[in-house]
Amino acid sequence: VKELFSSLGVDCNILELDQLDDGIRVQEMLTEITNQKTVPNIFVNRVHVGGCDRTFQEAAILGKRVLVLDFVVPSPQGTSWGLGGTCVNVGCIPKKLMHQAALLGQALQDSRKFGWEYNQQVKHNWSTLTEAIQNHIGSLNWSYRLSLREKGVTYVNAYGEFVDHHKIKIQQLERGSPGKLKVWAKSTEGPETMEEVYNTVLLAIGRDSCTRKLGLEKIGVKINEKNGKIPVNDTEQTNVPHVYAIGDVLEGKPELTPVAIQAGKLLARRLFGASSEKCDYMSVPTAVFTPLEYGCCGLSEEKAIEVYKKENLEVYHTLFWPLEWTIAGRDNNTCYAKIICHKPDSDRVIGFHILGPNAGEITQGFAAAMKCGLTKQLLDDTIGIHPTCGEVFTTLEITKSSGLDITQKGCG
């Protein structure tokens, strides 16, 4: 390992335990922290890497030349993004922060019933919120640029296009002034029509896969002509063997940032011989940050029936009433919990669904359990934390097939 770091020109601090008076105590502390009983015990940038073998695996990736192209065509108003893609700039991060702002507004309404008294009218300042969010996003953009620089990754704020199989051209695109668009619209609720001229039209109906201007046709990479998505095999390999794709452009895969990050890490390790592990696209937890959050992991009930057949499944479900909603006087039959179990496999949980407060936080914890093979019996054997929303999964008794009533009359 010393020779490896030396050959890579990496500075490292070495602590020889057998030369320390308290070496045994240090070794015990390292074992407690890392759960690794052997030496060498290696840390890179304060992160535990592992022993000798693991370090050589990770080193297989070191020294590879990496270029990141990240360019977003400015809006007609000249607005563009910083480094970080959809998630950081217009997706996960601003979405969750605005969701929190909405929750605080609801909490203000509930607070009076919990004894909080205030006479002044509470108003919301949109400009204050957006400025705070943009400042936070800007700090993330900067931190990503620093991180790429520290890891020796070249970053170019430009658009990339394939010229041939092993050559990419980098077309700083020009910013042009917007033209005029005449919009004619008809109401869906009556006979009214309208006609106006605008310089920008926003169609909030989803996102396009921007793959048609990458020059993929020049090297033979196939895409779905309908949506621009790229079909790949289970190792993210396209129909052109030396071209791989990860992230939201993949056909039939979740459009989630953590999925893209995980797939990218595993792909890099496979390409350079450090691992053979593939990305698991099935047990992916996710959440929808609507005012009443929804979280899920695994299969929907419909997909589970398609894959495993209805007779091989048992669905447990219930409505529940969060304690914090009781005094606030909110509906006692709005929140919902459901698990889908595969009966032939010891009632293994193959689908997890929750609609309620903090659904994202709850789902993240249960997702780890599902990766470990969570079963209905293990849930029943788990002691719940009372009173929480998550504990409802430790007391599920009613099956859908029974047809029994799942409405709630109070809080246990």
pLDDT, average across residues 181-204: 83
How many Cα atoms sit within 13 Å of 140 on the Cβ side?
Answer: 19
- Is 62 in contact with 8 (CB distance < 8 Å)? yes
Quote the mean pLDDT of the chain.
88
Q: Spell out the domains of the chain, with CATH numbers in brackets.
A: 13-50 (no CATH), 285-402 (3.30.390.30)
Please report the pLDDT score of residue 40 as a whole number. Answer: 86
Can you point out the beta strands (E) in 146-285? 154-156, 161-164, 167-169, 181-186, 193-198
More confident residue, 261 or 182: 261
pLDDT tens per residue, range 10-30: 788 888 888 888 888 888 888
Contacts of 152 (CB under 8 A, 6+ apart): 66
Active site residue 386: yes
Please report the pLDDT score of residue 93 as a whole number. Answer: 93
What does the alpha-carbon distance between residue 374 and residue 94 come to, in Å, rounded to a whole number?
Answer: 33
Exposure b/e, 297-307, CB count within 10 A at least 16 = b: bbbebeebbee
> 69: part of which helix (H) or strand (E)?
strand 67-69
What does the alpha-carbon distance between residue 246 and residue 269 come to, in Å, rounded to a whole number?
Answer: 14
pLDDT tens per residue, range 288-324: 999 899 999 999 999 999 999 999 999 999 999 999 9
| Per-residue confidence band for 62, with pLDDT thresholds at 50, 70 and 90 | low
Can you point out the beta strands (E) in 312-372? 313-320, 335-342, 348-355
Please report the pLDDT score of residue 179 as a whole number. Answer: 65
State both tokens at 355: 């609609």
Whether residue 175 has pLDDT greater than 60 = no
Amino acid letter, 322 = P
What does the alpha-carbon distance between residue 234 and residue 286 come to, in Å, rounded to a whole number?
Answer: 21
